Amino acid sequence: MRVLVVEDHPGLAKNVARALRESAGYAVDVSLDGQDGLFMGETTPYDLILLDLMLPKMDGLDVLRALRRQNICTPVLILTSRDDKESTVALLDAGADDYLTKPFDVDELVARSRALIRRAHGVAAPILEVDDLVIHPDEMKASRAGRVLILTAMEYRLLEYMAHRPHAVLSKCELLEHLYDHNWEKFSNVLEVYISSLRRKLNRDGAVALIHTLKGRGYVLSR
């Protein structure tokens, strides 16, 4: 999953990004002003945007309205110091999916982020299941047929993203866009390496393959 944090306080932005990376395994990009945040939200297919309201160059509420006018449906979690009823109503009416009042608990921020991403992918339960594959996003753990899978951080991130979209054909471009932030080094075969490693770990002991390659189209996670 890939998240955009638009927050003009560098220290808070850094702390939020670190929490999302370490506690949820997300790829995170950070923007420190509204104009740049809007540009990034328009040009990159994020799974979630965390948006501060009081931003330089462009107010967060204006950023939100601009995204919704363009029918960009990325879930938006507002970070705000306002907690009055009128402000809350205005945010929700403008297209916000949820909000947190500053100061907030980082664990709650991560939990709300997971819930918004889950709902955006049409998943109600907090546990992801595809056949006998079970993933616990809150613990960043996965198992198959009761056997715990020992995964690297990127292997887990890839598997979780695919499990949010079971049976869908996921192109190489889509997977790369949702798994890496702007700073990643673009090695041409990196995705194939992780797919191959995941297959070996999923298919141990003669288990039925769950990751399938559709030549020229991408990959599918299904029985």
Helices in 139-217 by DSSP H: which ranges? 153-164, 172-179, 190-202
Residue 144 forms beta bridges with which residues? 133, 147
| pTM for this predicted structure | 0.91
What element of type H or E holds 146? none
Q: Which of 150, 133, 151 is nearest to 208 (CA)?
A: 133
How far apart CA 115 and CA 113 sit, in angstroms, is 5
Per-residue model confidence as pLDDT tens for the chain (223 residues): 999 999 999 999 999 999 999 999 999 999 999 999 999 999 999 999 999 999 999 999 999 999 999 999 999 999 988 776 777 888 899 999 999 999 999 999 999 999 999 999 988 889 999 999 999 999 999 999 999 999 999 999 999 999 999 999 999 999 999 998 887 765 557 899 999 999 999 998 888 999 999 999 999 999 8
CA terminus-to-terminus distance, the chain:
23
Domains annotated for the chain, with CATH where assigned, are: 2-120 (3.40.50.2300), 128-221 (1.10.10.10)
Q: Which of 109, 41, 39 is nearest to 78 (CA)?
A: 109
User: Which strands make up the sheet holding 147-148, listed edge to edge?
Assistant: 128-130, 133-136, 141-144, 147-148
